[in-house]
Amino acid sequence: MPYDSLKALIADLEKDGSLQHVPIEVDPAWEVAAVMRRVFRMPQAQRPAVLFDRIKGSDLPLVVGLYGSRRTYARILGVTPTRINERWLHALAHPVPPVFVSGGPCKEVVLRGEAVDLTRFPVPTWTPGRDIAPYIAGASVVTRDPESHVRNVGIYRLQLKGRDRTGLNINPPQHIGIHSRKYRARGQPMQVAMALGADPVVSMVAAAKFPPDTDEFAIAGGLRGAPLELVKCETVDLEVPATAEIVIEGTADLEHLEPEAPFGEYMGYMSPQRLNPVLRVTAVTCQRRAIFHALLSQKPPSESSMLRGISNEASLLGALRGMGVKGVTDVHVTEPGGAVMHVVVAIQKLHPAHPREVMTAVWGVRPYYGKQVIVVDDDIDIRDPFDVEWAVATTVQARRDLVIIPDHTGRRSDLSVEPERRDQDRSDKLGVDATRKWPYPAPAGAGPEHLARVEARWPEYGIREVERE
């Protein structure tokens, strides 16, 4: 496992410019969001992670964009980008339970009571002028099921509400929603711990969807190939990764809800105000030279869509194979669809109805995913939208190749559903069979073999990209 801490990852990414420093003072109220939006409009493979050395009003540096490309994601796993899914499938099949240690870097500073002050952290406002407050975006939020005692780790938005208060967004279908319902039925508050900047695989598992009662920390251990080290919290009965930069502990009162949001959400629109619990912070522990870690979460292209998409591709591929679906070679959950709406699947087609079997399997195993599922032959590069559209253009007849299922499972946040029907969690599904239905002529243009030879001596041709502006 290449990195066991955020600082180890940062140090390595700095070496080749994959992480770059902003030395000037930057305003978290608007400027961080605008700088990162500019960075995310660079082609994915060229986006650096950014370390803001000086954030106005805070003594802590801020790092954003560590999961902004498949290249860095693969580097964190110690593989090439084409091996990401393989690494994930291995981790899912071989989880490694965490181990407990008595202390760690996240305990270098322990603050309780009056000493707690979240407003000292460099928390950005991600949609300036529209978000109601700065948001802690990208914390790995830990809760425990009061019945099964299995913990859950997920990424949920946290509105900064004061020195020792945050809003906590709870969606009923999510695992934290299941936990909060059980605590509420017992008349108990829910204990919560949030880790920022832990071992870099922790955000990967926190962003992915698993069946309930999966211990995400054990999957993280599978990805690392070694157990994750956890330490006990100071004021709540939970454990967090020992190498976290910052840990926030607290208790959510589930009876007294407060307005939370508006917040600019990952699908690309403002999410309206709603009633949500408030987390009362009981302790903050952190490293002496802590770095505040955040994920850019907003209209794609965004870091949260990249991270969630890559992590969920592997879990979807694993689930399809687990169901016994044959011939699926790769799965892509696209970034413009917020890493939930649009799925592209590559198959080695076995028979004419095979693409339809694959579509219905996707809808069965991940009902909330894939409002649109495009199935292509496995010579198509499913991560290149250009190649996928070429496949659709050259293989699809609308009457024959489209599958529409009305009123399937949907997402409440899908604004394309009529407002009065949105609380039914329904959505139509569209399947597109973009595989070739009979033998086609060979594709036109220089093939892989010739392209590889040109690539090997590319500098000799003296051709470079035209500079913009």
Residues of this chain that interact with Mn ion (CB under 5 A) are 152, 175
User: How near is the Cβ of 344 to Mn ion at its closest, in Å?
Assistant: 25
Q: What is the DSSP string of 343-361?
A: EEEEE---STTHHHHHHHH
User: How near is the Cβ of 212 to Mn ion at its closest, in Å?
Assistant: 7
User: How near is the Cβ of 309 to Mn ion at its closest, in Å?
Assistant: 17
User: How near is the Cβ of 177 to Mn ion at its closest, in Å?
Assistant: 11
- Quick one: 36 or 219, whose CB is closer to Mn ion? 219
- Quick one: 69 or 169, whose CB is closer to Mn ion? 169
User: How near is the Cβ of 195 to Mn ion at its closest, in Å?
Assistant: 15
- Quick one: 298 or 312, whose CB is closer to Mn ion? 312
Residue 360 main-chain phi, psi, to 5 deg: -65, -30
CA-CA distance, 106 to 121, in Å (whole number)? 16
User: How near is the Cβ of 152 to Mn ion at its closest, in Å?
Assistant: 4
Secondary-structure percent of the chain, ordered helix, strand, coil, rounded to 5: 30, 30, 40
Q: What is the DSSP string of 217-257?
A: HHHHHHHHTSPPEEEE-SSSS-EEETT-SEEEEEEEEEEEE
- Quick one: 176 or 376, whose CB is closer to Mn ion? 176
User: How near is the Cβ of 295 to Mn ion at its closest, in Å?
Assistant: 17
CA dihedral 8, 9, 10, 14 (to 10 degrees): 110
DSSP letter at 175 equals H
- With CA atoms as reference, report the closest residue to 195 among 170, 173, 216, 224: 216
Q: What is the DSSP string of 279-340?
A: EEEEEEEE-TT--EEE---SSSS-HHHHHHHHHHHHHHHHHHHHTT--SEEEEEE-TTTTTT
- Quick one: 51 or 208, whose CB is closer to Mn ion? 208
CA-CA distance, 6 to 383, in Å (whole number)? 28
Work out whether the CA dihedral 158, 160, 166, 170 comes out positive or negative. Answer: negative
Residue 278 tokens read as 């408030």
Q: Which residue reads 């990414």 in tokens?
A: 13
User: How near is the Cβ of 328 to Mn ion at its closest, in Å?
Assistant: 24
- Quick one: 72 or 152, whose CB is closer to Mn ion? 152
- Quick one: 107 or 175, whose CB is closer to Mn ion? 175
User: How near is the Cβ of 208 to Mn ion at its closest, in Å?
Assistant: 8
- Quick one: 64 or 220, whose CB is closer to Mn ion? 220
- Quick one: 152 or 166, whose CB is closer to Mn ion? 152
Q: Which position's Cβ is nearest Mn ion?
A: 175
CB 177 within 8 A of CB 276: no
> 10 Å Cβ neighbour count for 437?
14
CB 12 within 8 A of CB 1: no
